[in-house]
Every structure is written in C-alpha cells, then in structure tokens.
Amino acid sequence: MLVPTDGSAPGLPTAAGSIFKIIRDQGPLFPADIVRRTGLAKSTVSVYIDRLAAAGLIREEPRPGGKRRMLKVAESAGYVMGVDLGQTHLNVGLCDLEGDVLDSIGADLDLLHETPEGVLARVVGAARALSSRNALALAALSGIGFCLPGPVDYARGLPVSPPVMPGWDRFPLASALHREFTCPVFIDNDVNVMALAERDKGAASQEQDFLFIKAGTGIGAGLVVDGRIYRGAKGAAGDIGHISAGLDDVLCHCGNRGCLEALAGGRALALRAGEAARSGASRFLAARLAEGLAGTPELLALGAAAGDEECLRIIIAAGKALGDTIAKLVNFFNPSLIVVGGGLANLGERYLASIRESIYRRSTPLATADLVIKRSALGPATGVIGSAILVLDEIFSHTNVGRLMRPPSA
Ligand SMILES: [Zn+2]
C-alpha cells in the first residue's frame, strides 16, 4: 500500500473518522442518528459534520418538503479507479466515492501469456481514456485499487509467486502505478476485494463476520472479521484452493496432488465435461461436442438444467468437494454467513444444495445453528467495485479522514 503520509503516528480513531464511517456505511442519516450510533455529544457531532462538509466529504441529501437535513457521502467529490485483472479478462472502472461504477473499459486477455509491463500499459491506457471521456482531471483521482488472481503482499503492493501469472513474482505493481498517477495505490487478491463488494453492495450487506468463497477457475476464501478483511501475517489468509481435499491421484498445477482446486475448480470441471463428452457418458455434452463446442462449466450447467444425469453428477461432486472444505472453515471460524460467488456459483441450485449439504453434514451443530449460506447477487463488475471499495476503506479510514481536515480553530 502506498499512502502519502504527513509523518504523524497513527492515532486512535478520530471523531471525524467515526462519524464519516457511519455516514458511509449507513447513510443517508439524520444528525440525531449519528449522535445515537456514535455515542458522541450532539455538539461534537454538529462541529464535525460541518467540518466534513467543508472538506467536501459529505453533503446534505435534499428532501422534498422536509426541513431536517439528511447526510450522505459527497459521492461526486472525487473518484477512484478499480482494476480487476482476471485469468481471462481485464476490467478498469471509474467509480464515485460510494464505489458505484460510472464508466468502465473491459477487454479479454490470457494472463498466462501477458507480461506485467504489457498489462500495466493497458491499465494506464484505460485509466487515461476513462478520465478523458468523462472530462475528469487525473489529478482528481483519489486512489487506485487493483485486484489480481494470486497471493499478494498487501503491505508492499506486489504479487508473490502467483501460480497462474508467470513472470509476475514480486513485480512492483503499486509503485509503478503510483509513479504514473501519483495517487495512493492498493493491490489485493481478487477474492478479498470481492468480499468487500459483498459487504458493501451484495449478499453480506451490513454483516461484520462472514466468509466469501470464490469458486471459479481458482478457489479462494475472503475472511471478513469485524467488517475488515483478515489477511493474516503475510497476506495469504484464505488461500484454500490448495488445501488437500482427499483424493491424492489428481495432480494440481501447483505441483501437489489432491488440491481442492484440482478437484473442484473451473479447469477441473472443464476437463470432466470434456471426458464425459468424449466417452458419451453425457449425451448432452456428446451432442455439444458434435456441434464443435468444448466442455466448459457453463455447458455442465446447461446439461444439468436439461436433466442430463452425468452433468448433474459432476456438478454435485464438485459441490461436495467444496462443501467438505468449507465445513472445516466453518468449524474453525464460525461465521454467521457464507456467500458463494465466482463463475461456478452459476452452476445452479443443485450445486449450491450440494455445498450446503456437505457443510451441514461435516460441521458441528453449534457452528451451523444460525449459519446462512447464500449465492452472490453481484454481477461481473464485482472485482471493479471491490477494488474501488478497497481504496475507499483505506483513504477514508478513521485516521486518514482526520488528516484530511485541518485542526479545529476553536
Ligand atoms: Zn494445488
């Protein structure tokens, strides 16, 4: 992470920061709501509301006929860029200060064959194009959030030995972008930022302790504790794709055998679908193969929906393998909610049901007593939105909001 600092030591959460966070998380709000929710004196809240407004961070929401003022984030007071780099896509989005996407540029790519310099040049080009076509000066950019599909050293803003990104190990991504745009830059794992998007805009709205599971080409977990991402000592928390899932005869691309990802990841399912098409075990997939289509998870979902038993069997087995691993996390972490997202979450209800059954079967009764398991309701912009929220969380943290304002004159 690269944040310009004024050299002051990080202090206790400031009143301004607390007030701003409540408005950001729960607004629009009346000042009286803020007094109640912060426990601060009415006069203190009033002083800081005026200062937050003077700093351009909050504004009054016009209410027809209403005399009392409601306060919300001044969403147009600045903007942030969210960058979502996936194994087959690059999406760059221009977002307001509430994390809503104003405009975006997306392109297909094959990350296995992209150099970091090449991707960086495309990100810079897209960010400049978005600023220019929306008539916004790059100087007004408050920050850039960037997510990628691999382990990230969050403090240093660089990927570390990402298995599907050859040539990217320790590439200084945050400092390269910071040199280009001079604003704060934050790099994180895609699963973590998707969890942030779920927290603020998705299925986990208002939840403070939950688990986000990304089931796609890769499999990972985002742990949200007290409303914040838990990254662990080195940023590797939640990297569950390479936990052993039991069957040691399956070779994983990481070099180990029996990894969850090798059993239940998108690539594994595409392989199973191809085999079922070629062997004729699935009549649906064999017919698609005859039409020239390759086996994909999407075809498995279509086959299952059309009642093809082999497609259904593959999907249920994948759900079971994932559910068995999630059950271990439930016993360990005891979340109140699990949100399942990523491309495989679209495999259908039987997939979700299989995940649920395995979790309930393998977890302790106390851990599952009030456990809710939901599918993500967010679409393909999740990575961009989450990356924007990552920036907003950092630049509008308690201490940073305090620093954005001058000390009170009185
Ligand atoms: Zn592995």
List pLDDT tens digits, range 295-345.
Answer: 999 999 999 999 999 999 999 999 999 999 999 999 998 999 999 999 999
Count how many residues are written for the chain: 410
Task: Find the 340 Cα to ligand 1 centroid distance in Å.
Answer: 20
- Res 3 pLDDT > 80: no
Residue 401 pLDDT > 90, yes or no?
no
Q: From ligand 1's centre to the CA of 51, what distance in Å? A: 51
Work out the widest C-alpha separation in the chain, in whole angstroms: 80
Question: What's the gap in Å between 206 CA and the centre of ligand 1?
Answer: 34
Q: Give the pLDDT score at 371.
A: 94
* Centroid of ligand 1 to alpha carbon of 245 (angstroms): 10
Cβ–Cβ contacts within 10 Å for residue 103, how many? 15
> Is residue 55 very low, low, confident or very high in pLDDT (cuts 50, 70, 90)?
confident
Distance 387 CA to ligand 1 centre (A): 26
pLDDT of 1 reads: 38
Instruction: Please give the Cα distance from 219 to 217 (Å, whole number).
Output: 7
Distance 297 CA to ligand 1 centre (A): 19
Q: What is the pLDDT of residue 282?
A: 96
pLDDT at residue 347 greater than cutoff 90? yes
Distance 40 CA to ligand 1 centre (A): 50
Instruction: Please check the confidence at residue 356 and state whether its pLDDT lies above 80.
Output: yes
Cα-flanking dihedrals φ and ψ of residue 224, to 5°?
A: -105, 120
pLDDT over 80 (residue 4): no
pLDDT at 198 over 50: yes
Proportion of the chain above pLDDT 70, given as a percent: 94
For the chain, the distance separating the N- and C-terminal CA atoms, rounded to the nearest angstrom, is 34
Could you report the per-residue pLDDT of 136-176, keeping only the tens digit for each? 988 889 899 999 999 999 999 999 988 878 899 999 999 99
Rounded CA separation 116/49 (Å): 43
CA 165 / ligand 1 centre spacing (Å): 15
How many Å lie between the centroid of ligand 1 and the Cα of residue 268? 12
Query: Is 169 buried (19+), middle (13-18) or exposed (0-12) by CB count in 10 A?
Result: middle
The Cα-based distances of 378 to 35, 108, 197, 205, 359 in angstroms read 33, 20, 8, 12, 23
Tell me the two tokens of residue 409: 């004159």
Residue recorded with tokens 């055998």: 257
Measure 112 CA to ligand 1 centroid, in angstroms. Answer: 17
Q: Residue 408's pLDDT band (boundaries 50, 70, 90)? A: very low
Does the model's pTM come out above 0.75? Answer: yes
Distance 369 CA to ligand 1 centre (A): 32
CA pair distance 207, 96, nearest whole angstrom: 23
Q: d(Cα 118, Cα 111) in Å, to the nearest integer?
A: 10
Task: Name the residue among 152, 126, 138 with its Cα closest to residue 182.
Answer: 138
Contacts with 73 (C-beta within 8 Å, 6 or more apart), sequence order: 20, 23, 24, 27, 57, 58, 59, 97, 98
For the chain, give the mean pLDDT.
Answer: 89
Going from the Cα of 272 to the center of ligand 1, the distance in angstroms, rounded, reads 17
What separation in Å is there between the alpha carbon of 111 and the centre of ligand 1? Answer: 18
Q: How far is the CA of 7 from the centre of ligand 1 (A)?
A: 42
Helix (H) or strand (E) holding 133, with range, is helix 116-133
Spatial separation of the C-alpha atoms in residues 197 and 193, rounded to whole Å:
6
**Residues 94-109 pLDDT 10s:** 999 889 999 999 999 9
> Does the structure show a pLDDT above 70 at 115?
yes
Which residue bears the tokens 């599909």? 149
* Residues measured by CB to lie within 5 Å of ligand 1, the ion: 242, 252, 254, 256, 259
CA distances 29 to 14, 25, 383, Å, are: 19, 10, 28
Distance 333 CA to ligand 1 centre (A): 22
5 band by pLDDT with thresholds 50, 70 and 90: very low
Q: Is 94 exposed, middle or buried (0-12, 13-18, 19+ CB in 10 A)?
A: buried
